[in-house]
Structure 1
Amino acid sequence: MSKLSKLYGKSGGGHGGGQGSGDSLSFDAKPVLPTSHRTPRKNKAAAWWSTLNAPVKIVYAALAVIAVLALVLGLALGLTLGKPKEDPSPAADYVPSSISGNRTSLLQPGYWYTAPSNGTNFAWTAASAQLGSFRADSQGVDIVINTTRTFQEIDGFGGAMTDSSAYLLDRLKTREVRLYERVMDFMFNNATGVGVTRVTLGASDFSLEPQYTYIATAPNFTQAAAQLNDPSSLLRDFSLDGTQSSAYTIPVLVDALKRNPRLKVILTPWSPPGFMKSNNTMDGGTLRTGFVDVLAQYYAQAAQAWTRAGVRPWAMTLQNEPSNLAAYPSMGMDAPTQVQLAVALKRELAQRGLGDVQVWAHDDNYSGWQSAAQIVNANANASAVDAVAFHCYRGAPAQIAQFEAALQANVSKRVHMSECTGTGNPANRWSGIQAWLTNVYWPVGVHNARSVVQWNLALDPGYAPRLQSSYCASCTGSLTLSSQSNPQDPYVTYNDQMFLTAHFSAASTDLTRVGGGQAVRVAADQGQLYSLKRTDWQCLNWLAYAAPLNGASLQQASSANGAQVQRRLGLVMANTCEDTKNVVISSDGRRSTFPVKQGLTTFVWTAP
């Protein structure tokens, strides 16, 4: 993460320091103690004690014992009060409900609702869509859903399991395993939970100190260049052992995969080991000349190691924000180098039995769309690049269309939103949800993004843990978890990002595991002869999805047999009006009226 999100306005933090000035003190010379010619205190005390009678001595002795006891108790109390404040017991914390991911539950019609205020959070209501018989006309229809007009397949919605996020979740597991299990059930259930997560291959700006790679003892910088003909010798000390990946991230992801075995994991490097880079450090710099093949082997070896540890990657990006050379783990990488690395990485993955792992290029801001197009066009024949990933910090989602228009004839690439963060606390949760929808979910959805992945899944109330050099001192997580450094009560807070993930996941659930297919975005247009007031359209926004119940692809909707359902539909609607709007929906010609309350609602139903 490099630049702060536009969602809540820019803010940031810095770290400053300096050396004090003054006289230099030396502690080398031994001080000379003065010589006293007075009577030693020990002898005076003994003489005084001998003058006292027995009862007085007993009184003095008792007072001395009381004084010692008081001193001991005072020290104990002081030590107790001086301890860092412990975060509260999380045993009874609230966790939003979720449904089972079996076929029966997934096909149940109803809606999830999140109110503007913090009283109703992703609340489920079972309700029939009550679709009428087929009608060819659109008189009085507000939204026309047409599942024959399909757009991008949906790979999922989620957030990044950074080292910081995994550390906090692992700490929760240690403190209160029952709450941890409930939180993980909500976050990673296979019906409404996180479907895609991004993890850091080595340290990022949201890792714990110190920085790390998977080669603890790096080769000599000068000698490394002489060993390029034997890359394995440069990587012989490769290991995940003792890293934050093995201590926190992988164990938490293994728990997540138990809940959703189809969870898609994206591996993203912030920086390779310093000896591979121009500046011999993890911060900034570029890849050294001749090190493309070594880097490809390092990445592929990491993917293999993660797989053996129980977390098989679904995709890998070539480099996080290659245009950003920062004072934390980062590396610059131009388009030609990304082209070379993509080809080499594909080859190395295939040799390790990981040929189906996708390789994504760019992984940077919208504003760099020309570089993304250059990479894809150069790789058009090699097909080494499977997708292009964008970040939200510079430029605008509309530049995705410019990227697509710049591709060579008959060339297309999948598009993903791989990172975006909220910063600070919005005035209220509803304003935060609206900001995310306006700046991210609505526009990237209509520009064919197959996934939306937020930044940290969890941080503490101090926007931590993070490296001291991290640019973002106010990034928020999907969850806020209490920590010893920054305690809060309740222990877990569910932020706007988490509920957005749940709403969009619920609408676009992949039915492959229950005999159906992957969800796709479908046409959902404003009706020409609508029944709503003209002013109502100013405060209504939506996206629609559909997934086949049987088989991998949507079939033609039936206008005759209304009893034989063959698709599941999901409609995410935001109402920023001050009252409920009764919206007439046409689902492939079959109508119903949906009461859309102020807030965010996801409707789901089945249809012929």
Structure 2
Amino acid sequence: MLIGCMDKEEKLQVTVYETNANGKKLEKTTEFSNADNAIQLTVLPNEEYQKITGFGGSFTESSAHLLNQLGKENRQEIIEAYFGENGAKYSLTRTHMNSCDFSLTNYSYAPVEGDLELEHFSIAEDKDDIIPMIKDAMKVSKEGFKILSSPWTAPPWMKDNKDWRGGKLLPEYNDTWALFFSKYIEAYKNEGIDIWGFTVENEPLGNDNNWESMHFTAQEMTQFVQNHLGPKLESEGHKVKILGYDQNREHLNEWVDTMFASENTSKYFDGTAIHWYASTYEVFPEALQYAHEKAPNKHLIQTEACIDAEVPKWKDDAWYWQKEATDWGWDWAPEKDKHLHPKYAPVNRYARDIIGCLNNWVDGWIDWNMVLDKQGGPNWFKNWCVAPVIVDPENDEVYFTPIYYTMSHFSKFIRPGATRIGLTMTDDSIMATACKNPDGSIAVVIFNQDEEKKDLSISLGERNTTIQIDAKAIQTIIINEVTK
């Protein structure tokens, strides 16, 4: 006799973490939805895009100096929160060569004028703050992390205006400036720290001469890399990445056209670095796609982002979810660009930009300062900004802002070597991206910026499960093995 049995519906085994405006902070969600009219999100693991290099933040002198002022327990808590197994697990970081605006003073590793062979080169300035912070991070990072280093300027004696701000590198110092990069790698290696890559110059288009800067045109930077920096690093045996540009996306097309014009111009470039300051909300997807198509086998990495022109709000989570922040363009942008700089919610800006970048071929995303004080500094120019972690060194207090948890939704769960994969959505009010990790797990990050909850049916092949995302919330959904 033939005995029938009921088929059991296959379900996806998922683990869901949520951060929302109502107070959840990377909390595991255990309640799922049974809604029939859920938004359909279909994961397409065979549709593969870029490999992920990593996510993280920057070791600045300001951040490192603040850590030195905290008690031992709070210092360690922050290091663990960024690099430990129970924290954000940052995998891609940045630091500055010589001083920047988020330094305590102006300084250079090569202060002696006319020192063409850099016999007096020294990273002593970094040994009190930046290097100890990096070493502490290395101690707690199980998988390690990559470091990308960027100069804001050559020492003034190498420049045509003899100033920390603005000006150009004098041609007679091209080889000395290339040697500077080589000396830096060696000095950091002697400290037990490997440098993964360089950007040639932070913001080569300048910053109105406000703080350390040095100007390059696309042609000038390309020629410097092609004829000086690339050959020097190669001859010294330094296997290090070189990323060009390193500024906002609205000028990206013209830079990649120059950098990748031919095999000769592109030989030493391993990719392109970008920032987000051209707009509070615009990702510039067409520019990112153009850059990828111009150099499909090269890196495209976001190397700096922050809530700029703002003093942090102390222990006020609600502010980070509300459209009250303004950026530099709110006051200074020309009329034709004002629409790119509206008031915005800081969490929204991060979540939208990271998802938008990933969905348009960006393979790495680096935040700016990891730690700032209640003023948004220290910063010698008083160029205040916001960081994911704010501290009050006088009272030895630490505040993890909602931005920290937003970053963690990506950095903790999308690991280096992951591959972005395809997905489809039946409602474009939800932003989403998906990546398949080297261990086979799939991380789907979704962002609901609306004022109401949403139900989503997540499908992978014939399997599915329905979840609910709160209003004004970001979720990471980890898809593991299938259960019946």
Alignment TM class, shorter chain as reference: 0.7 to 0.9
Code of the aligned partner of 1:492: V
User: Shift in Å at residue 351 of structure 1?
Assistant: 3.5
Q: Identify the residue that residue 31 of structure 1 maps to in structure 2.
A: none
**In structure 1, how many angstroms separate the alpha carbons of the residues matched to 2:83 and 2:182?**
27
Q: Is 2:54 aligned against 1:156? A: yes
User: CA contact under 8 A between 2:38 and 2:466: conserved in structure 1?
Assistant: no
CA distance, structure 2, for counterparts of residue 406 and residue 602 of structure 1: 28
| Matches of 1:571 and 1:409, distance apart in 2 | 28
Q: SS state of the match for residue 465, structure 2? A: strand
Alpha-carbon distance change, 403 to 123 in structure 1, aligned in 2, over 3 angstroms: closer
Task: State yes or no: 1:603 paired with 2:465.
Answer: no
Pairing partner for 2:73 from 172, 178, 189: 178
| Matched residue, 1:200 | 96
Q: Report the residue type matching 1:419 in the other structure.
A: E
Distance in 2 of aligned mates of 1:319 and 1:305: 19
Residue 248 of structure 2 contacts residue 278 of structure 2 at CA under 8 Å; is this kept in 1? yes
Q: Separation in 2 of the partners of 1:459 and 1:465?
A: 7
Q: Note if 1:124 corresponds to 2:5.
A: no
User: In 1, Cα distance between the equivalents of 2:201 and 2:178?
Assistant: 11
Residue 128 of structure 2: SS of its match in structure 1?
A: helix
Count of aligned pairs? 433
Question: Is 1:367 matched up with 2:250?
Answer: yes
User: Once the two structures are aligned, what percentage of the paired residues are identical?
Assistant: 22
Name which of 433, 444, 454 aligns with 2:367: 454
Larger radius of gyration: 1
Name whichever structure is richer in strand by fraction: 2
Provide the residue aligned with 1:591 in structure 2.
464
Q: Report the alpha carbon displacement of residue 545 of structure 1 after superposing the two structures with TM.
A: 1.2
1:251 maps to 132
Which deviations, in whole Å up to 9, do the C-alpha atoms of 1:93-123 show, x marking residues without a partner?
xxxxxxxxxxxxxxx9522221213x32122
Indicate how the Cα distance of structure 1 residues 411 and 455 shifts in structure 2: closer, same or farther if over 3 A, else same. closer
Is the counterpart of residue 501 in structure 1 residue 407 in structure 2?
A: yes
Helix, strand or coil at the partner of 1:507: coil
Task: Kindly indicate whether residue 276 of structure 2 is the aligned counterpart of residue 392 of structure 1.
Answer: yes
- Give the 3-state SS of the residue equivalent to 1:290 in structure 2: helix
* Structure 1 residues 352 and 409, CA gap change in structure 2 (3 angstroms): closer
The 5 A counterparts of 1:310-325 are: 310-325=192-207
Structure 1 position 428 matched with structure 2 position 319:
yes
> CA 1:569 to 1:411, structure 2 compared with 1: closer, same or farther past 3 Å?
closer
Distance 1:400 1:412, change over 3 A: farther
* CA drift at 1:333: 1.0
Number of the residue aligned with 1:286: 168
Q: 1:311 to 1:125 in 2, by over 3 A?
A: farther
Is the 1:376–1:407 contact (alpha carbons within 8 Å) kept by the matching residues of 2?
A: no
Give the conservation status (yes or no) of the 8 Å contact 1:507–1:572.
no
What residue identity is the alignment partner of 1:573? Answer: I
Match of 1:115 among 20, 23, 46: 20
> Which residue in 1 is equivalent to 2:422?
523
Deviation at 1:151, TM superposition (A): 1.4
Q: 2:392 aligns with which of 473, 482, 487?
A: 482
**Are 2:134 and 1:239 aligned?**
no
The 1:349/1:148 distance shift into structure 2, 3 A limit, reads: same
- CA deviations 1:198-228 (Å, max 9, x no partner) are 101010011002x101023333xxxx7xxxx
Secondary structure of the structure 2 residue equivalent to 1:440: helix
CA distance in 1, matches of 2:127, 2:145: 19
Report what 1:49 is aligned to: none
Are the structure 2 counterparts of residues 282 and 592 from structure 1 closer, same or farther at C-alpha, using a change threshold of 3 Å? same
Of 165, 184, 204, 2:63 maps to: 165
In the aligned structure 1, how far is the partner of 2:273 from the partner of 2:294? 21
Kept in 2: contact 1:572–1:601 (CA 8 A): yes
SS of the equivalent of 2:432 reads strand
Q: SS at 2:99's partner residue?
A: coil
2:430 counterpart residue number: 540
**2:348 and 2:293 mapped to 1: Cα distance?**
34
Alpha-carbon contact 1:377-1:408 (below 8 Å) kept: no
User: What is the SS of the residue equivalent to 1:193?
Assistant: coil
Equivalent of 1:573 in 446, 451, 456: 446
Q: Distance in 1 between matches of 2:421 and 2:73?
A: 40
For the residues of structure 1 that align with 2:437 and 2:291, how far apart are their CA atoms? 31
Q: Secondary structure at the match of 2:133?
A: helix
Rounded to whole Å, the distance in 1 between the matches of 2:147 and 2:378 is 22
SS at match of 1:217: coil
Partners of 1:446 and 1:348 in 2: CA distance = 35
Question: Which ranges in structure 1 are unaligned for 5 or more consecutive residues?
Answer: 1-107, 130-138, 225-230, 511-517, 528-536, 550-566
